[in-house]
Structure 1
């Protein structure tokens, strides 16, 4: 299907995935002459007879019909076979493209070139067809594919449009349908079984559950690990060389002690060898390797991807969702370096341009959709935020490193003999930094041995026996988990970081490296005991492969969806047989996650509790004998860590809210004391303001103060009955405040 000339159509409509992309494409195609206007309140850009409009990602979502949305009125099993419908989620965007399409003779889909982008484009076409039946039959519809928002790439893409790939879009829609059904069924079932409804529901999913199972399994290995002692011998010689015994690890301390007794006197240098080691440059960034590298310098996976997408839409880097680790011939490496000479890292680009031949490294994965992630335009710190610059610099330096020479290192090995025992010292000297000059995140420091001659003798100044312990396996960092998910076929390059972010937001994991909460153990234990397929990668990997086959045309979308429903019916049969055990396991885990430590007043458990009005506070499990309480943040999910406050014996807490950075509150008691101090409440008879209590507004606060009750601490000193008597506030209201 050919695009045709812009000059002979009444209107050419270009639809992009986001506003920034639309603005940039319009600027490039119009030579900067595009005019901005509003259509149904949405930004659009017009030049000649062309209009470019950006969507907001998916403007349609999949959902169940209204009759299935009530958790109480719907049987969970019914959801498995329920109809799934398209629901407009961005109605202004729907109206805008329907209005614009009415006068179009050509429609070009210019969304991101991947499975989700293709589906977003097809959704736009469906919306147009719905408003104007038959319109698409008489309109030229095509698709442009690009990997960077640069003038050259955009002009090339619009010069060679292709057809919309409806099979690729179908594979994306199959994923949406399967994830909706699996997520809704499992989430509703476990939430109801565990008594966690409303905002505190238990999120479970086809990809999320096997990912969480990996984290829980690693934590079990750590908990089961029994450290073993071992010993190593090292000695400092008079020339400041530190040498270690050639045996390495001693598992028998008696044997190590006997050897140590002989490491005395003078050591003779009996061997001195030098060699060379060549460290190859790293391979180009695909999405997984980029997220691993970003994680290593302090970025969460979701934040790194968010920033990379912003850099892409603003024309600084190529498309950040790719499996490719081989630069295709279409990427002119010298042109890219030339473009980077005007940026902050221009000196490095100039150095590499001076090479007669550029020989980039190649990874194991080569695909044809997008090139590896690389810079496409120069940038300076002043043009970007601090975080944007760090991500841009990481990507740019990686690009430089892939074009640079190997790093050459001279290795040194010295062997000393003392009373029949051999000690070994090693050193190294960097002869040529090569790629490490550009990629500052992987440095090798010089630590050469001093000048020595074979046969020279050196006094043993300080022999020592080092007691060490074997270490448990490390918890997963976000980068390491993404790599593991890729190896097992869990999720895709576009979704893995989102899955990890969801585990945090639902309170399943804390920290980085990731530590699972007790709730995670309860959920995974319940699933593994009663429906183990949900927690294993094989099932989700099979479905991922099926979705690839849809894109290839080897199987239909409906067949894959029906197969997934059949799998879910079998899983649900297993769950229903064991509902009582599942409920018990989850509820026990929820209670453990609610324990904040020991009550500072009586030593019993402090629990996260809710008042009758829904407010949260920390209360003693010894109530009513012990009425000690502490205020807690009003909103967000409270996640209890295993770090204990040395002063108060309470666990530190973190508050997780959707769309916000986690708030590390720390010890609830310390936080409360700090709040009192910062508000001038340094007296013990003062404290938290009355209106901070759920249910106490200005009117009740005024009546309490008039009765001489001026703080929450003062309120706690009285019984609810006495408060009601002094203020005239109904006793039932007073009891709902939940401070006793």
Structure 2
């Protein structure tokens, strides 16, 4: 009988997959050297030519292989930071992963097939190659197959088992390039700027880390802060008309909106009063719609989770991962906002009919209210949009889990509903020589709004533009900026935001979510690098965005891992040389802060010397 070793990315996924494939008839459950990982033995009939097989299902816990520099470069005083751009690196099993790696190698020794069940994204492909390499250490001839799945519902898992594919070596190569670049660039700049700034008051012993995603993320926060500080308010004047009818005050907005010349506005106002009567010029009624939302992506889940649920993007993703591993929702890391034609969406809707909160709405969809979801413009060809795969009773989840699960369900049901329908009435007045207007809305069919409580659609009066500064950068805005500028991936954005908070480069207002303000240290680092005069500052997104484009080209086969590493290393080496030549500029920005470097907000910066040295070639 053929022996197949199945390996998942997480112990919880291994347990769920083993339960589905075995039909609940697991023959044996064995402990491993890792307390979280079990080996499950059972039989399963795979597709020809394998047939009935003796299966062992096990797992890793994410990455098992670590990267570092070889001896002679690992310690900070072993070499100058600039040497890390070329230093030899090594891959090794970290001490905390030794039992995991030993289990894979041992179980693979007598297996004919290795079946990879890691998450179907770029990172999962790379982890799959780590598992493959560990297995081939003891069994060089083992055949490797890959399961393609996006949720752990039983039917979906059985389909994945019957239709194996191959590991995507190109996606794995892109991750390999990113790991090496992050190691070289991050270590070189972190060591250099930490040692450089050790003498700055308040930074004694503190690691001042650099990351090619961290710093552009910090740069967005600082840019918004600087706009707030540089904003100069200017008074303005406007004219409003209010007409009371049937005890309802109807406000009309001025066609000119507002002017900054008070005398001119007073003259226009007096002319209106002189006319005494305002004439209705037109009343126009027309149908209107409020479009239902697109299917849910990871970026949207993070943005809307922060906006509507009051949770940080990192917490939202942690909860979504847990809901996925419990089999309640689909894989939560996806760029796709299009449902495939073959998906049985009404069946998924039907699973929600037992809910007291939205069950009646789901029943209405099945009774004729169903409408095909709109298609967005993204499809990563790996996972469908995030959606519920099972109904969960409220008492099975804690408060935050309930909110995230409810959002996913309501978003999905809204996608399967119809657009809201209404009618707008626009009234235009002529009052003397001035024009005024107002509009009102009557909602005729709420449709998706009945279930998607996060959207509002009501009649509102227009307000003139106010001469106010922008607010601090909110988490949804920051995620949108990162997404638009290619900083990180949908899977890592929340981690980069958490990292700059952990490093005390920015502070969350209120704590843990919502808005971000930079610390003195964060502002000074951005100002210091900006003042050096790079063509593309390290606090701006352009270099990292270019790197992400190169990663995608690796996935497409248009370039290689080594070419991307070499070209990106040279770009950052050039920046490093210039930063080193202008080290006094960076120190000047931090030497005389008006508050403690880890204070909540800086109002003044230190020196602003410019570096005029030519970039070294």
TM-score computed with the length of structure 2 as normaliser: 0.87
Deviations 1:81-136 (A, max 9, x none): 11121232322211222222223222111000111111111111222333x1xx13
Aligned to 2:611: none
Q: Which moved more, 1:399-408 or 1:269-278?
A: 269-278
Following the alignment from structure 2 to structure 1, what is the Cα–Cα distance between the partners of residues 584 and 225? 26
When residues 279 and 84 of structure 1 are mapped into structure 2, their CA distance, relative to the original with a 3 A threshold, is same
Counterpart of 1:510? Answer: 507
- Within 5 A, what are the aligned runs for 1:554-703? 554-589=558-593, 592-594=595-597, 639-641=599-601
Query: Are positions 1:36 and 2:29 aligned together?
Result: yes
Q: For 1:561 and 1:268, how far apart are their aligned partners in 2?
A: 70
> Counterpart in 2 of 1:283?
294
Q: Is the 8 A contact 2:371 2:418 kept in 1?
A: no
Tell whether the 8 Å contact from 2:149 to 2:160 is kept in structure 1 after alignment: yes
Partners of 1:227 and 1:469 within 8 A in 2: no
1:605-638 residue CA offsets vs partner (Å, 9 max, x unmatched): xxxxxxxxxxxxxxxxxxxxxxxxxxxxxxxxx6
How has the CA–CA distance of structure 1 residues 328 and 468 changed in structure 2, closer, same or farther, with 3 Å as cutoff?
closer
For 1:476 and 1:331, how far apart are their aligned partners in 2? 38
Q: How does 1:700-715 map to 2 (within 5 A)?
A: none
Structure 1 425/468 Cα, relative in aligned 2: closer, same or farther at 3 Å? closer
Offset at 1:36? 3.3
Equivalent in the alignment of 1:143 = 146
2:232 aligned partner: 226
User: Is 1:487 paired with 2:479?
Assistant: no
Pairwise CA distance, 1:199: 6.1
Cα distance in 1 between the residues matched to 2:464 and 2:412? 43
Whether 1:176 and 2:182 are equivalent positions in the alignment is no
| 1:117 paired residue among 124, 131, 144 | 124
- Residue pair 1:334, 1:353 contacting (<8 A) in 2 also: yes
- Partners in 2 of 1:579 and 1:338 — Cα distance? 63
Deviations along 1:697-724, one digit per CA (max 9) or x if unpaired, are xxxxxxxxxxxxxxxxxxxxxxxxxxxx
Would you say the 8 A contact 1:509–1:520 is kept in 2? Answer: yes
1:447 and 1:66 map into 2 onto residues whose CA distance is 67
Does 2:328 match 1:316? Answer: yes
Unmatched segments (≥5 aa) in structure 2 = 44-53, 509-513, 604-617
2-structure distance, mates of 1:356, 1:425: 34
Computed over aligned residues only, the root mean square deviation of the Cα atoms, in angstroms, reads 2.4
Structure 1 contact 207–490 (Cα < 8 Å) conserved: yes
Higher relative contact order by CA 8 Å / sep ≥ 6: 1 or 2? 2
Counterpart-to-counterpart distance in 1, 2:315 and 2:204: 27
Instruction: Return the offset for 1:363.
Output: 0.8
Quote the Cα distance in structure 1 between the aligned partners of 2:329 and 2:273: 58
Compute the displacement of 1:286 (Å).
1.4
Aligned-partner SS, 1:534? coil
Task: Return the offset for 1:263.
Answer: 4.2
Q: Is the 8 A contact 2:520 2:600 kept in 1?
A: no
Q: How far apart in 1 are the matches of 2:171 and 2:537?
A: 27
Q: What is the number of equivalent residue pairs in this alignment?
A: 570
Contact 2:242 2:250 in 1 (8 A): yes
Q: 1:99 corresponds to which residue? A: 106
Write out per-residue CA displacement over residues 453-479 of structure 1, whole angstroms, 9 at most, x where no aligned residue: xxxxxxxxxxxxx99841223432222
Q: Is 1:472 matched up with 2:469?
A: yes
Please list the CA deviations of residues 139-183 of structure 1 after superposition, one character each: whole Å capped at 9, or x if unmatched. 222110101111111111110111222222111111111111111
CA distance in 2, matches of 1:46, 1:152: 20
Q: More deviation in 45-54 or 349-358? A: 349-358
**Would the alpha carbon gap of residues 95 and 580 (structure 1) be closer, same or farther in structure 2, given more than 3 Å must change?**
same
Task: Describe the superposition over 1:359-410 as per-residue Cα deviations: whole angstroms up to 9, x where unpaired.
Answer: 2111121331111111111122111111111111111111111121111122
The CA deviation at 1:16 is 0.5
- What SS does the corresponding residue of 1:45 show, helix, strand or coil? strand
Are 2:353 and 1:362 aligned? Answer: no
Specify the SS of the correspondent of 1:360: coil
Residues 231 and 467, structure 1, Cα contact 8 Å, conserved in 2 = no
Counterpart Cα distance in 2 of 1:136 and 1:346: 53
Q: Give SS of 1:68's match.
A: coil
Name the structure 2 match of 1:398.
411
The separation in 1 between residues aligned to 2:577 and 2:464, in whole angstroms, is 54
2 CA distance for matches of 1:499 and 1:410?
44
Show the 5 A alignment for 1:436-451.
436-445=449-458
Contact 1:219/1:475 (<8 A) preserved: yes
Distance change (3 Å), C-alpha of 1:568 and 1:414: closer
Please list the CA deviations of residues 474-526 of structure 1 after superposition, one character each: whole Å capped at 9, or x if unmatched. Answer: 43222222222222222212111211111111111112322111211211122
The alpha carbon displacement at 1:195 in A equals 0.8
Q: Is the 8 A contact 2:306 2:476 kept in 1?
A: yes
Q: Distance in 2 between matches of 1:365 and 1:99?
A: 41
Distance 2:433 2:464 in 1: 23
Once the two structures are superposed, what CA deviation does each residue of 1:572-592 show, in whole Å capped at 9, x if it has no partner? Answer: 211121122222323334x73
Matched, 1:47 2:42: yes
CA 1:422–1:551 in 2, change beyond 3 Å: closer, same or farther?
closer
Counterpart of 1:63 in structure 2 is: 68
Contact 2:338 / 2:384 at 8 angstroms: preserved in 1? yes
Find the partner of 1:215 among 217, 221, 225: 221
Q: Is the 8 A contact 2:519 2:602 kept in 1?
A: no
Matched position secondary structure for 1:276: strand
Work out the CA distance in 2 between the residues paired with 1:567 and 1:405.
Answer: 50
What TM-score, normalized by structure 1, do the two folds share?
Answer: 0.73
Equivalent residue for 1:73, pick from 74, 78, 98: 78
